[in-house]
Structure 1
Amino acid sequence: MADLLKNLLGGAKSTASSVASADDFADFATAASPVPPSHAASSAFPDAASTSRPSFGAGMGLAGRPYTKWYRVWERVAIDDFYQEMVIVPILLVIILVNIWGASANKRRAKQWAKTHLPLLQSEYASVGMGGRKSKSQSGQDIPDDFYKEQSKNEYISYATGRQNVAWLDIKLSLYKRYNPVVWFGETAASFLFDSMPAPVERLEATAYSFDGKEKAVVPMKSQGASALGTKDSTYDGFVFAIVHKDKMKQLRVDRYDISLTSTKDHPKLPHWATIMSEASEVTEAMLTPELVKAVTDAGEDLEALIISDQPIDAPKKLNDTVPKKRVYLAMRVNDTPANARLFSVFLRLPDHLVTSAHFRPEAMRKIRATREEEQKKLRKIDEEEKAEERRLASDKLKKEERDRKLSKMTADEQRKFLEKEKEKQQRKGMKKQTMRG
């Protein structure tokens, strides 16, 4: 009876399992004690090897492994393994040094240009530079830090304001990409292979925006002398006139909408490499002053274009784009010669000549106005067609909504009859169109 109770309560089973578990660990009773791994000792530190204690897991899977030279980096690495790095690292250093040298060379080039032209700007404008402060007469050796701003490593911009007849002046200096000789060489090579790719040059671009009688809208009334500006007449007739290098003539006519309105004609007063692009002969005679002709002749082929315009550069797409915006634009190669400085000085004073002399007879302006009115008619027609298309689409949308509303209130039979009538009506319209075409 006692054995039966033990079997029911599991006493005998637990005893058997305990015995079995004891037998399971019998194999480990005769196992050898752990010993330190053989690689723990080093020939360089024999004493340390005898006193070192194995850390937890240090001998797991490493016992019996000999200490070889692969544990010493200086023994398993040769100079042959670094041939690739020996080529890449010098190339990277050369690229970095050339980049730094090119950026520094362009900065020196921009500073040299500023030394020549800063006195000219300060003599004509009250505020020169990006700082917005009044300019002070300085020697050519001292260039203010805010005179120009670095747009990129080969582009610098400047700004001037505070002059009669001119709202503001924008200046952009584009230099060679000395910091990237690969791109520089690629652009030069492409210019020889393709006519559409111009050769890289160092270019000065300056644009003077005229007041044209809008001083009160541009100059704050609180500023000093604003009341006096409103009493002066700075308006002049709008037209397009340009003195262009013949190599740039074709490209300018394609790139600029205002130049496309002009006709090209050589002038005996100008050198052989320059030509006139003007809207009227009377405008040409009024603009070709002896001072301007001499400055253009002395500057030589460094001049690319001198443009007086009131029309947009890009072709207008809306009537608002045809609003006249009078300005004077100069593009020339960067060259710190006295002749180029004189041409730049004549450009700075050209707005004064426009205000005093650019007032022409109605007969001379009739053709110029006719060209602008013709362009405005085209834009007005396009605008009316767009508005008519919008009205048609809106009407079609209302008709479709009304049709859907009617269909939603019909039964299935009524909808079927309605759609059949609609289909027959469309077929009759199609047949009428075919008859009219025949």
Structure 2
Amino acid sequence: MAALNIAKFLTPQMPVVTPDYDGLEYKWKFLTFRPAYFKNELYFLGAFLFYLLFYYVGKTANKGRANKWFETHLPLYKTQFSRPANAEGLVADGNSDFFAFSTGRRALTSLHTTFTLRPRHDLLQIIYQFGRGIVELDYNVYDKVELEFTFREPVGKEGAVPEAVWAIVAKDEMKQLRNDRWDLTFTKTTEHSALPPSLVVMSEFADITTNLLKPYGQFQLAQVLSNPATLPYFRSLSLTDQPRARPPVPLDPSERSKRLILSLAVPPNADAAATLPLVTAAFQLVDIIAGEGKLPGVRGGLNAALRPETRTKLRKAREEVEKEIRDEAQREKKEEAEEEKAAARKRARDERVSKLSAAEQQKVLDREKKRLLRKSQGKLKAR
């Protein structure tokens, strides 16, 4: 009986069908459809179809944008790697993230190419980004591609690639990058006369900047970055041996790697080749840092080009940071142990008090109140 009442409550009311209806009507056997009775439903259906169309168009646009950039740069990848990409090309992770894995090159174990595109398929996220951009003037959202070159040389080995943090960053990207990249807190920010005014250098020591920005034959990194055709798409270029996020405990050298990371804004499909000079320069910079290739003046790599005192300072800086992380981890561990002991004492006390009579429990509570009162009065006097 209750089930019948519930079904009756959930059943929508029948539409009022008058015999004098003279509007548009469709009949098929015993079925009759009168559009005039479905006004609100038409709006709902229209909104649903618009959302589906928006999703499909946005998804297709993102896939086409990523594929166009990758296909344009794939010939360069093929000249650099024996395995430039997966057999299926770009791999999609959702509708706005795509990636490719390349391997088989001197000095490198791999190159990860990662696309993070705007969520064009998601109407709500697009509205949110648009609204946030109006409220926060420094909020910058764009289609991004990141190339992460991982050096074959491991951390902890004194070789051609130094254990250092260095970067060139677009000024409008610096605030966000500092929030996202803990490793860049090792650096100091300065401007450089060889670079455009829109770029800054983030380096641990000037010696690193001097060696990376000086000419190597016909190659000059500062000249590539100063090209007006490529400058709008350049976001950052960083050399690092540290993790992106601050580790809770000192990491073993096997858990870290030396990397060169190039971050770019994805150009429009019609101008997809605009970033080719930047990607080409990144490969040349890899050879300079690792002491490979045919460019003059790269023998021994960047580490050999640095002054001995610079290498000593780099090593001491890492020892100090590791000591600081280790001490902080030990303090947190000690505080957790003390909190656990205090909680255990409180549980034992509560269990002991619960076994007393009501009068004895009241005496214990009164003593506790007096003790807390004396303690608070003592603090007031000390002030």
What residue is the counterpart of 2:90 in the other structure? 148
TM-superposed deviation, 1:185: 4.1
CA RMSD of aligned residues (A): 4.2
Task: Tell me the SS of whatever aligns to 1:163.
Answer: coil
Match of 2:76 in 1: 120
Q: Pick from 239, 250, 254: which aligns with 1:319?
A: 250
Query: SS of 1:156's equivalent?
Result: strand
Q: CA 1:83/1:311 → structure 2, altered by over 3 Å: closer, same or farther?
A: same
Structure 2 SS opposite 1:250: helix
* 1:210 aligned onto 2:145: no
Q: 2:240 aligns with which of 283, 300, 309?
A: 309
The counterpart of 1:296, out of the listed 200, 213, 225, is: 225
Count of equivalent residues? 334
Question: 5 Å matches for 1:220-369?
Answer: 235-290=160-215, 291=219, 292-298=221-227, 299-320=230-251, 324-335=256-267, 336-356=271-291, 357-359=301-303, 360-369=306-315
Contact 2:68 2:272 in 1 (8 A): no
**CA deviation map 1:99-147 (0-9, x unaligned):** 222222222222211221111111111112234xxxxxxxxxxxxxx11
Evaluate the alpha carbon distance shift between residue 321 and residue 305 of structure 1 in structure 2; reply closer, same or farther with a 3 A threshold.
farther
| 8 Å CA contact 1:103, 1:153 repeated in 2 | yes
Quick one: distance in 1 between partners of 2:194 and 2:315? 28
Verify the 8 A CA contact 2:69 2:273 in the aligned structure 1. Answer: no
The offset of 1:191, in angstroms, is 1.3
1:372 correspondence with 2:318: yes
| CA deviations over 1:42-84 (Å, ceiling 9, x no partner) | xxxxxxxxxxxxxxxxxxxxxxxxxx999x9959864320222
Question: Structure 2 vs 1, CA of residues 153 and 324 (structure 1 numbering), >3 Å: closer, same or farther?
Answer: closer
Q: SS of 2:153's equivalent? A: coil
On the 8 A contact 2:196/2:226 being kept in 1, the answer is yes
* Structure 2 gap ranges (5+): 1-18, 292-300, 350-363
CA distance in 2, matches of 1:334, 1:340: 8
Deviations 1:299-342 (Å, cap 9, x if unpaired)? Answer: 11210100101111112221127865211111111124544101
Q: CA deviation at 1:248?
A: 0.9
Gap change, CA 1:321 and 1:77, over 3 Å in 2? same
Match of 1:170 in 2: 112
1:316 counterpart letter in structure 2: P
Give per-residue Cα distances to partners, 1:17-44, cap 9 Å, x unaligned.
xxxxxxxxxxxxxxxxxxxxxxxxxxxx
Structure 2 residue aligned with 1:101: 57
- TM-score, normalised by the number of residues in structure 1: 0.63
User: Structure 1 residues 257, 397: CA separation in 2 closer, same or farther (over 3 Å shift)?
Assistant: closer
Structure 1 residues 227-273: Cα deviation after superposition (integer angstroms, max 9, x where no partner): xxxxxx96421111101001111221222111111111111111111
Residue 384 (1) aligns with residue 322 (2) = no
Letter in 2 for 1:82: F
Deviation at 1:170, TM superposition (A): 0.9
SS at 1:374's partner residue? helix
Q: CA deviation at 1:397?
A: 10
Work out the CA distance in 2 between the residues paired with 1:402 and 1:203.
57
Quote the Cα distance in structure 2 between the aligned partners of 1:148 and 1:392: 51
Question: Taking structure 2 as the reference length, what is the TM-score of the superposition?
Answer: 0.72
Q: Choose 1 or 2 for highest CA Rg.
A: 1
Q: RCO greater where, 1 or 2, for CA within 8 Å and sep 6 or more?
A: 2
Q: Give the residue type in structure 2 aligned to 1:149.
A: V
Corresponding position: 1:87 with 2:43: yes
Change in 2 beyond 3 A, CA 1:87/1:278:
same
| TM superposition shift of 1:386 | 4.3
Q: Which runs of 5+ in 1 are unaligned?
A: 1-67, 132-145, 215-232, 404-418
With 101-110 and 238-247 compared, the bigger mean Cα shift is at 101-110
In structure 1, give the amino acid aligned to 2:321: E
Instruction: Check 1:400–1:151 CA distance in 2 against 1; reply closer, same or farther (3 A cut).
Output: closer
Partner of 2:99: 157
Aligned counterpart, 1:180: 122
Q: Displacement of 1:349 after TM fit?
A: 3.3
Tell me which amino acid in the other structure corresponds to 2:310: A
> Quick check: 2:85–2:100 contact (8 Å CA) kept in 1?
yes
Identify the residue that residue 16 of structure 2 maps to in structure 1.
Answer: none
SS in 1 for 2:129: helix
